[in-house]
Structure 1
Amino acid sequence: MRFYKKILPNGLRVISVPLKESLTSTVLVMVEAGGKYEEKKEGGISHFLEHMIFKGTEKRKKSMDISLDFDKLGAQSNAMTSYEWTGYFAKAHNRHLGKLMEILSDMYINPTFPEVEIEKEKGVIIQEIKRDEDLPSRNVLRIFMELLYGDQPAGRSILGEEKMIKGVTRENFLNYRKRNYVSSATTVIVAGDIDYKKIESQVGHYFGSLPNTKKDNKPKVADGQKFPKILVKRKKTAQSHFILGFRAYPNKHPNIPTLKVLDAILSSGMSSRLWQKMREELGICYYVKSFLADYSDHGIFAVASGVDSKRVKVAINAVLDEFKKLKIKDVSSEELEKAKESLISNFFMENEKSDELAFYFGEQEIMKQKIKTPEEVEKEIRKVTPTQIRKVAKEIFNNKSLNLAIIGDIKDEKTLLKLLKV
């Protein structure tokens, strides 16, 4: 798969991904602005601003004007905020590509932040926060991040806290946007049946006025630990939801492909180790999933599940046993090949559409990685050996970086802490 990258005179980056015979095109605008770029007093502003970008521009005075312009094209549009970036995208039939780019550029460059809309949207954000509070299977990840990173941006909620949301002003948005939404921190990705030279010209036309002023730098994450840790949020729930995991690698680390295969061995498919142990043998959970999150300067590898509060110890011991097995014995060639095929197939299925590929290429660029095509990723995965998996397991699965976050009706926290040994 080919892609084309160009840096415009104002520093903005353009990634073009031609998809021959694709009937749809996606325009994605990504900016290096997210939870890690926030000061403590403005926690949650990246996500709040993402909402406000849809609330009106000089040309499109109201949010309804933006919505109507997208709907007239039959377009899908949305946005999302992470710790390290915010992205705005629109997708429609190829014939509407130019109009999609015009609408998104207007939203991105000319937002007005109407004060009446800010006040209304505060209620929306606060309800979003409360929704996550009521969903322990989602909220436990926030607790896990707090346990690992404490009172630094990586340890705080991307949504922010209700007190901060209530106090945010139009001036706060203007200041934050001025510091972060600059051309050198922006990447525009276009995927579809396109002419890359024409795309580069169009992006220059619509985004050329974006200023190239100095960009905020995000603070480096403090990522140290010397012994196992636990954080319990006691709550009357039908299940206890937990994440049990370790500090791992940042996104540029050469062991990432190996860790992805290890992840697939643990929980990709119904024949995977965790599924067989937790569901088929013990019958103690509905969901169990391992995952890795690799950020620019730190990483996580963990397992998430939800079980009856009376069986939390059994579940934790079962997961710990699977970690230990990977440290002491090489995986078989048969299991390794199964995991690789599962990982590769899922990877390609997740990157079939124009919007999926836009995010795939865009996230690599925005995270300052060398862009790898899907074919190059497959080659890396194919090369992983049993010896490499065991080596990575020994490196990652260690007591000094082991953490347990749990939400539920838990009374014996000290007993759980004593279990944390690999």
Structure 2
Amino acid sequence: MSLIEVKIPPLGESISSGVLAKWHVADGDVVKKDQPLFELETDKITSEGVAESAGKITFKVQPGTEVKIGEVVATIDSSAAGATPAPAAAAPAAKEAAPAPAKTAASTEQSPAVRRVAAETNIDVSKVEGTGKAGRVTKGDVLAAAESAPKASTVSAAVAAAPSSALPASAPVVTAPATGRRSRVKMSKLRQTIAKRLVSAQHEAAMLTTFNEVDMSAVMELRKKYQDDFVKKNGVKLGFMSFFTKAVVQALKDVPAINAQLDGDEVIQNHYFDISMAVSTEKGLVVPVVRDCDKLDMAGIEKAIGEVAKKARDGKLGLPDFEGGCFTITNGGIFGSMLSTPIINAPQSAILGLHAINDRPVALNGQVVIRPMMYLALSYDHRLVDGKEAVTFLVKIKQAIEDPTRLLLSV
């Protein structure tokens, strides 16, 4: 017998422990090399552990246990590598479900998240081209396939999907008793950290929010006119975020006080433009950073945002993806938010909140006209930024969006 230890891998100098949230396989299963074994949640990131060798796995740690970096959580008997692997999603409820389409070898190794999203969106994983390691289909691949599928089928599949067949038996699911009205589940490490940081930001900063509104007509006309050519040349769509990112960079140059942060009784002035982008995931809101936005063109910004958003959805973000941001943009408008007061992403000094675009009557040249309008919200640390600077910054963004030529001329 040749036993190989499965250890918690190092994730960064600042991470010493985490919670083994769930196993992707069952105790006693025969696993393949590089097959995902478990999901580890830390206070900063969520990562997967994979098998270093094929063989029969024996658990040393149960789901929900806090583990330290380097701790042995299982062993793999490599002498049993020739045995028939157990199905990755062998759930008792599967016997009652309708026969599933034949799966490829790659599709049987998918994580529970992939299988759950596939069940909810009625996507056949075997027909999705995987972009993960060894061609493995990721959750982002399934979401992308779902977006390109007809909306009606996605909605009907989500309503019809049964939760009991969407997850494997090995994944712990906390639900309320049939006769109960409440259930209780422990907060994830990531959610605990999000909660602490938000409360800390409110307690430590003199936070204030100023508002403005912007007419989106010019940007919408530009997108409509050049969208097809933009996609043909760059392979990505021209979205609103690239316009706002460019506008933010220009405004940061014009109002440098926003591109600074406090460190005790010292002011640190940033001379670079790494912008944090708020991304909503199943586990909570994360803010990965897009580097050197002042050096990227519109296509480069759209591609960079798409990459960090995909990594966030797939749980592939690492510590470097969060470090060094100067300013944050958050877009609640994609969920229909009309107005909000975003909380500063410490130690940054300000955050821009974007909102839904709605047709509203506005006065223009003495006449009432209908325009696609968006409310903008800038929350800032009043200890460092004065009201004049905050309002000027927001007006600069408004001017750039309403007259995108300013972005070309940097005025």
Same fold (TM over 0.5): no
TM norm structure 2: 0.25
TM norm structure 1: 0.25
Q: Which has the higher strand share?
A: 2
